[in-house]
Structure 1
Amino acid sequence: MKHWALAAGVVLALTVTAAPPALAGSTGSTGSDGSAGRVSHGVAPVSGAVYFRYGSGGIEVLTHRGGWTGGLTVGGGAFAGQFAVAPGGRKVAWIDGKNRLRVTSAPGSGTNRVTDKVIARNAAYGGPCLTPAWTADGRRIAYPVKGTAEAMTVAVVGADGRGRIDAGKTLGPCHLTWSADGRTLAGYAGDVDGVHLLDTRRRVSVRAPGIRLANHVESLSPDGRRVVVNAIGANAPGGDGSWPLSFTPSVYDTRTGAKVAVPVRGRLLGARYLGDGRLAVRVKGTSANTIVVLSRSGKEVQRVTEPARARNLGLLWVIG
């Protein structure tokens, strides 16, 4: 598997920081101009987003919803980058150098300090792409289990560390992502040769048709029927498996293998399915990026200008 990237073992340090100076002072709930964006009648609007960036201190997670909030800073040193942020941005699941899956939470619910809990001790560590994945309701986490087999075991555990189960084996354990119905996990192969779907009820994994090479899986539709990936050519570099700040999204039908058109103009920086089946597409802008929200039929239902200071941040979640 030529594209696997290994990082030196290191225990990650997590702290909560205030919003950095570069992000302070943004106004508006969804747009840098204070507007809520254009929304079609009867559609619940997008109300915010969760972002991240890489820095000398590791990975910083920040949320914008009616203004910037303080975020979680993850890592430092030889950080492997094996993290996933819960919907809403207040919890981070991460795998440390001792093969432990941890959940670190921002202050709240009666406490003014960071809380950290080890919830599993058998997680695979060392490959940046071997990230955990949160369910859409933030209650469960899937993660790759350490081992030597080519098909990796995926386990699912409650965010409180309870109810761990074996969900099956897959050849696609990289950048796992859930469908909102909680049934299907998608991930790409460590050698970037294909995307695989794991049915966690039947514990059966199959390769998604139509996708030859991919080095990132971003999102699944709620029913698992469509997947958003970064598809690459045969001569493209596979990358080191780290979570990308941006990518050119391709959408595929996971049953037929057909590529699905994304009817949005401009340079696309990513796309992510919302829990109700809408597709949020990120578009590059000169001073600020835009999130274009499409209905399940592909019709534009909302257009939101991001805060200007989010322009160079990676997008993890769209809240709406």
Structure 2
Amino acid sequence: MHKTLAAMTLGAGVLLAAAPAAAAVPAARVATVAEVSAPISGAAVYAVHQRGYTVSKYGPGAGSTVLARPGDSPQFAASPDGRKVAWITAGGLLRVREGAKVTTAARGLQGGTPCLSPVWSPDSRRVAYVHVGRNPAGSVSAVNADGTGERVLGSTRGVCHLAWSPDGRYLAGYAGTTEGVYRLDVKTGKAAKVKGVTLAGHVQSLSPGGRYVVVRTLRASDPGGDGTWPEWFTPTLVDTVTGRKVPIGVKGRQIGAFHLADGRLVVRVAGSAGNTLVVLDRTGRVVQRLSEPVAARNQALLQVLR
């Protein structure tokens, strides 16, 4: 049995078969007409580890702006608006940085466990995290960025690399043992195992409505790793209802994929000089291509900004 992070008594999961060649990305629930028609700018948030982690925002023609330096903590997340970064210190403090201001938003978390990264709500106002202090292990809580309004969202085995659907309804993460992906309904507080994924080592995004998840699947022979956020990975798009593996119709070596709020999918494609962001509409048609900054070529993609 494939295991990792064995010390975390958290586990269980879902598997993907090889994809048939060429099929459209299925339609997801549309947010607004304006979101559907607006091309993305190419701005994005990335993270790199060089003598500690640095999270930076890159904008077309604007270069890079450092948003935060979480140091050696691999447990971090950038907000969807590209303005804030949250991270968990080795001592279990949830810290939020916006501009020059740093706030301690929660205490008593589990620091030093790479896969237990926080995640921002779609409106960039709240941060969700696994709380192993007051709440039972596997319980997910959320708090406002200023540290107020903490509440429990529910319990799930999918506590690693949480992703929050753009409509705010679902959270998804993989199990600490790598044995599958779970989707938590924050309205009911209940979680369900995602069909079609047996082993997983990363969750990057959920579609609006939470039906489709972008995940890094593992074979039984693959190392589980320590749960650190990957600089790149081969994305698999899974229908959480049917368990079907949905092919992503983009040529080249895919190294990530990210859902937008209107259901479009942004696919990251590796390049020798720099990577490319390829935008697919809700039918799977390529509608836009953007070059990433050369400096971000070997960095982890955290957010695609509008």
Asked if TM exceeds 0.5, the reply is yes
Match of 1:100 in 2: 93
Deviation at 1:308, TM superposition (A): 2.2
**1-structure distance, mates of 2:223, 2:93:** 30
**Structure of greater Rg:** 1
Match of 1:84 in 2: 77
Deviation at 1:310, TM superposition (A): 2.0
User: Which segment drifts farther, 47-56 or 142-151?
Assistant: 142-151
**1-structure distance, mates of 2:135, 2:112:** 15
Letter in 2 for 1:3: T
The CA deviation string for residues 167-217 of structure 1, in whole angstroms up to 9 with x for no partner, is: 111111000010011010000000100000010110001100000000000
Residues 179, 224 of structure 1: 8 Å contact kept: yes
Deviation at 1:226, TM superposition (A): 0.1
Residue 255 (str. 1) matches residue 215 (str. 2): no
Match of 1:69 in 2: 64
**2-structure distance, mates of 1:155, 1:171:** 14
Letter in 2 for 1:60: T
What is the DSSP-based 3-state SS (H/G/I as helix, E as strand, rest coil) of the residue aligned with 1:74?
Answer: strand
Deviation at 1:288, TM superposition (A): 1.7
Letter in 2 for 1:93: A
Match of 2:288 in 1: 302
What is the DSSP-based 3-state SS (H/G/I as helix, E as strand, rest coil) of the residue aligned with 1:223?
Answer: helix
2:38 corresponds, among 40, 44, 61, to 44
Deviation at 1:122, TM superposition (A): 2.9
Residue 171 (str. 1) matches residue 157 (str. 2): yes
In the superposition, relative to structure 1, how do residues 127 and 5 fare at CA in structure 2: closer, same or farther (>3 Å)?
farther
Residues 151, 171 of structure 1: 8 Å contact kept: no
**2-structure distance, mates of 1:148, 1:165:** 11
Deviation at 1:45, TM superposition (A): 1.3
Deviation at 1:148, TM superposition (A): 11
**1-structure distance, mates of 2:291, 2:87:** 31
Residues 108, 133 of structure 2: 8 Å contact kept: no
**1-structure distance, mates of 2:156, 2:238:** 19
Unaligned runs of 5+ in 2: 8-35
Output the TM-score relative to the length of structure 1: 0.82
Unaligned runs of 5+ in 1: 7-41, 107-113
Residue 290 (str. 1) matches residue 267 (str. 2): no
Match of 2:208 in 1: 222
Match of 1:13 in 2: none
Match of 2:173 in 1: 187
**2-structure distance, mates of 1:303, 1:5:** 41
Deviation at 1:52, TM superposition (A): 1.4
**2-structure distance, mates of 1:88, 1:180:** 12
Higher RCO structure (Cα 8 Å, ≥6 apart): 2
Residues 62, 89 of structure 1: 8 Å contact kept: no
Percent sequence identity over matched residues?
Answer: 48
Residues 68, 85 of structure 2: 8 Å contact kept: no
Aligned residues: 275
Match of 1:3 in 2: 4
Match of 1:110 in 2: none
Report 1:120-199 matches (<5 A): 120-146=106-132, 152-199=138-185
Output the TM-score relative to the length of structure 2: 0.85
What is the DSSP-based 3-state SS (H/G/I as helix, E as strand, rest coil) of the residue aligned with 1:156?
Answer: strand
User: Which segment drifts farther, 216-225 or 59-68?
Assistant: 59-68
CA RMSD across the alignment = 1.9
Residues 125, 146 of structure 1: 8 Å contact kept: no
Deviation at 1:149, TM superposition (A): 9.3
**2-structure distance, mates of 1:201, 1:303:** 36
Letter in 2 for 1:139: R
Letter in 1 for 2:129: Y
What is the DSSP-based 3-state SS (H/G/I as helix, E as strand, rest coil) of the residue aligned with 2:255?
Answer: strand
Deviation at 1:300, TM superposition (A): 0.9
Q: Which aligned runs of 4 or more in structure 1 are off by greater than 6 angstroms?
A: none
Residues 275, 292 of structure 2: 8 Å contact kept: yes
Letter in 2 for 1:286: S
Report 1:111-122 matches (<5 A): 114-122=100-108
